[in-house]
Structure 1
Amino acid sequence: MAGLVFGLQLSTVLAFSAAAIALILTPGPDTMYVLARGIDGRESGVKSAFGIATGVLLHTMLAALGVAALLQAVPEAALAIQYAGALYLFYLGVVALRDDEFDPAVETERANSFRRGVLVNALNPKVALFFLAFLPGFAGGGPSAGSRMAVLGAIYAVLTAIYLSGVALGADKLGDALVETRLSSVLNYVGAGTMLLLSVVLLLE
């Protein structure tokens, strides 16, 4: 049928994409993590960006399967995941302060960046609950709602990967320009401090 994109009206896809871009551009833990990793190196930053995007796909799958609804119905489960995410962010902040995650002798540096990017996004129940509220409004109802949610989630993930990759590349250029200055270390501390602060905020909420 004309005007359909993977079972969705073109107008719906465009409206969803506009809303998604506005949300993606809002700074949060994902952006700060990629920014910090991008300063340390282009590949690490981009890997982190794709890790975050993969986390988005995970949340999409959970929303489509209805698992996110369980988190909403059982506050204890959501709270446990929130605490786990907060502790993980705290760990990342400590690692960044020690500046040993990106030791050239560590052969798994890039793989760690991707995996940690996935976990930063995945260990955030608020994202799961957000997708539960955000996707159905655009996907609509009916037996094929799950597949339409999957398509919309994939669009969101692609947009996320594009934007955060740009953040990583920009941070890498900034890092190159500052590599001989003390400001590079200051920015690393700022990124680490931000992750530590976010972890405390999550624990206190």
Structure 2
Amino acid sequence: MLALDTLLAFLAISAAVTVAPGPDNLMVLGQSLARGRVAGFGIAVGCALGCFTHTLWATLGVSALLLASPNAFFALKLAGAAYLFWLGVQALRSGGIAAAERSEALALPWRRYVARGFIANAVNPKVALFFLAFLPQFARPEAGPASTQMLVLGAVFATQTVVVFGAIAFAAGGIGRLLARRPRLGPWLDRVTGMIFIGLAANLLLGGRRG
């Protein structure tokens, strides 16, 4: 069992990392502004699930294999960048749609946003390598098997991710709702969201083979 002081230190650092500007919270922010709180919270949950997936990879050693293979690392970066670019193009194309079509777009099933957040996070090799380096630092020999400790820490990280990103979604969604009362701003919200996704794609792809 992990000591309370270890868990609290891990939680504090994890929250600081989660709040710091990055691809995931920018996705939550952009989708919340353009599509509302439900969409933003869906992205948040998807990102949290992706984080726990990276915990499993780090625990099983898959992330270490990824680090040892430059070609696999770059291939995963390429897939992640392509997915983010596709989301950006979709957002840009939705700018300027009619009010009825916009209402239909806003009514997309919540699970669609969860899937978007999960895929965007899960195919980001930089996140995989972060977890590979971050989690073992808090594992203590006297606390039991390192793999079990890492799974617990990963669950804690995923949980606080939902809380922090959920707060961002709630705040940004409220702002988006106010802006949506001005129909002319709707297309611009979509364009901002699209540019965020495309910018994230470029950052992931061009940020160096090892990020």
TM-score by length of 1: 0.90
Matched, 1:58 2:59: no
Separation of aligned partners in 1, 2:106 and 2:36: 14
Q: CA 1:87/1:141 → structure 2, altered by over 3 Å: closer, same or farther?
A: farther
Separation of aligned partners in 1, 2:105 and 2:87: 19
Residue identity matched to 2:45: F
Q: CA 1:103/1:74 → structure 2, altered by over 3 Å: closer, same or farther?
A: farther
My pick for the range that moved more, 139-148 or 64-73, is 139-148
Q: Please report how far the alpha carbon of residue 129 of structure 1 lies from its aligned counterpart in structure 2 after TM superposition.
A: 0.5
Between the aligned residues of both structures, percent identity stands at: 44
Aligned length: 199
Matched, 1:158 2:152: no
Runs of at least 5 residues in structure 1 that lack an aligned partner in the other structure: 1-6
2:196 to 175, 178, 194: 194
Separation of aligned partners in 2, 1:161 and 1:104: 26
Separation of aligned partners in 2, 1:42 and 1:203: 29
Q: Please report how far the alpha carbon of residue 202 of structure 1 lies from its aligned counterpart in structure 2 after TM superposition.
A: 2.1
TM-score by length of 2: 0.87
Matched, 1:41 2:36: yes
Q: Please report how far the alpha carbon of residue 180 of structure 1 lies from its aligned counterpart in structure 2 after TM superposition.
A: 2.3
Matched, 1:25 2:13: no
Q: Please report how far the alpha carbon of residue 183 of structure 1 lies from its aligned counterpart in structure 2 after TM superposition.
A: 3.7
The Cα offsets for residues 169-198 of structure 1, whole Å up to 9 and x where unpaired, read as 111111111112234433332221121012
Name whichever structure is richer in helix by fraction.
2
Separation of aligned partners in 1, 2:141 and 2:127: 21
Q: CA 1:134/1:189 → structure 2, altered by over 3 Å: closer, same or farther?
A: same
Paired residue secondary structure (1:47): helix
Paired residue secondary structure (1:27): coil
The match for 1:4 is none
Q: Please report how far the alpha carbon of residue 106 of structure 1 lies from its aligned counterpart in structure 2 after TM superposition.
A: 8.4
Matched, 1:176 2:177: yes
Question: Is the 2:30–2:196 contact (alpha carbons within 8 Å) kept by the matching residues of 1?
Answer: no
